[in-house]
């Protein structure tokens, strides 16, 4: 089973982050432009929250707030559930299932080093299973 560090090696470790003062409209544009479902909210190098499409739907749209006038800090989820680079894909999936979340920032000694989504984890698990099936088929054939 792959760990988070191995997943980030394949995926890349780029992270989109905004300050808590950023307008929600700007954050939603960033998500759309980058084809992502969440952005990290940072205060300097410190992770202070995460803003997701779900946060937007529930805390802006359903409450009739203005996307242009609402700072992301007022709708972000905090504290942020995070994982370590050494955690396995299975551990991450268990956390996501238990917490009903789809994105996990990866922290190494308190510093953000990447982000994994449920899609990243499912892809890694499928690739691992395909490799294992191929090895078993080769073993049976020999």
pLDDT tens by residue, 68-98: 999 999 999 999 999 999 999 999 999 999 9
Tell me if residue 91 falls in helix, strand or coil.
Answer: helix
* Residue labelled with tokens 């359903």: 62
CATH class of segment(s) 4-141: alpha beta
Domain boundaries, the chain: 4-141
pLDDT one-digit tens code per residue, 26-84: 999 999 999 999 999 999 999 999 999 999 999 999 999 999 999 999 999 999 999 99
Query: Per the structure block, which two tokens stand in for 2?
Result: 């792959």
Q: Looking at residues 9-36, what average pLDDT do you find?
A: 95
Identify which of 130, 123, 1, 127 has the alpha carbon closest to the alpha carbon of residue 138: 130
Rounded CA-CA distance 45/2 in Å is 27
* Residue labelled with tokens 């955690």: 87
The DSSP element (H or E) to which 38 belongs, if any, is: strand 38-43
């Amino acid at each position: 089973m792959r760990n988070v560090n191995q997943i980030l090696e394949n995926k890349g470790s780029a992270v989109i982050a905004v300050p808590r003062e950023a307008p929600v409209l700007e954050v939603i544009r960033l998500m759309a432009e980058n084809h992502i479902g969440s952005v990290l909210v940072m205060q300097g190098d410190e992770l202070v929250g995460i803003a997701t499409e779900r946060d937007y739907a529930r805390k802006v749209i359903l409450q009739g707030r203005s996307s242009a006038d609402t700072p992301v800090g007022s709708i972000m989820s905090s504290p942020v559930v995070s994982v370590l680079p050494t955690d396995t894909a299975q551990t991450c999936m268990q956390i996501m299932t238990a917490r009903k979340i789809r994105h996990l920032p990866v922290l190494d000694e308190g510093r953000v080093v990447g982000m994994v989504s449920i899609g990243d984890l499912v892809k890694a698990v499928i690739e691992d299973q395909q490799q294992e099936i191929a090895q078993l088929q080769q073993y049976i054939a020999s």
